[in-house]
Amino acid sequence: MQVEQTFLKDCFIIKDTVLTDSRGYFFESFNQKKFQELTGLAVNFVQDNQSKSSKGVIRGLHYQQGNYAQAKLVRVLKGKVLDVVVDLRKSSPTFGKHLAVELTEDNHTQLFVPRGFAHGFVVLSNETIFFYKCDNYYSKEHDTGIYFKDASLNINWQLADEEFIVSEKDAHLPMFKDAVYFP
C-alpha cells in the first residue's frame, strides 16, 4: 500500500501493490493497521456501499451534516470515473478547493475522503461499478450536497453538459455559497 497526501489535508490517494500472473491479479484492498500507520488516522469503517451506473451519470456532490458526517474510502471495481471532492471545512486553508482523480478498474487507485468534504463522481466509461467504505451510517435527514455544476467551484467534469445524467435530487442541490459548512 502506497499512500500519497494530496494538497487537501487528510485526503489521500492510495495505490495498492497488485500481484499479477497468468490467472489474473490479487491485491489487498484494505488493511486497517497499514492504513492507520501510513495516514496517522484511526478510521473505523461501518458501512460498505456499491453503485452501478452508465456513462454520463453524475452522483454528487454529497455529504452528511453534523454528527452524521462520513469519511469514505472509494474505488472503482469496473469501469472509470472522475472522482471529485470539495473541502467544506471553514478552518481549512483549502476551504472551497476541489480535487479530481480518475479511478479505474485498471489503476486500482483509491481515494480517502475525510469528514468535512463533499464527494461525487461522473462515469466516464460505458458502465461502472463504484464501491466505498464509510465510517458512519447513512442518515437521510442529514444528507445534503452541492450542485455539481456550481460555477464558483470551476470543476471540469470532462464531459459535455448534454452527456450528463443527473437525478432530480442532485439537479436541485444548493450552490456552494448556500452549503452547510464544517468548522
Q: Which residues are catalytic?
A: 62, 132
Contact residues for 183 (Cβ-Cβ < 8 A; gap 6+): 89, 90, 91
User: Could you give phi then psi for residue 29, rounded to 5 degrees?
Assistant: -80, -20
Query: Which one-letter DSSP state was computed for residue 46?
Result: -
The CA distance from 142 to 8, in Å, is 24
Query: Which one-letter DSSP state was computed for residue 125?
Result: S
Contact residues for 23 (Cβ-Cβ < 8 A; gap 6+): none
The CA distance from 64 to 69, in Å, is 5
User: Could you give phi then psi for residue 151, rounded to 5 degrees?
Assistant: -60, -30
Please check whether residue 46 is in contact with residue 55, taking contact to mean a CB–CB distance below 8 angstroms: no
The CA distance from 78 to 129, in Å, is 5
Tell me the Cα Rg of the chain. 16
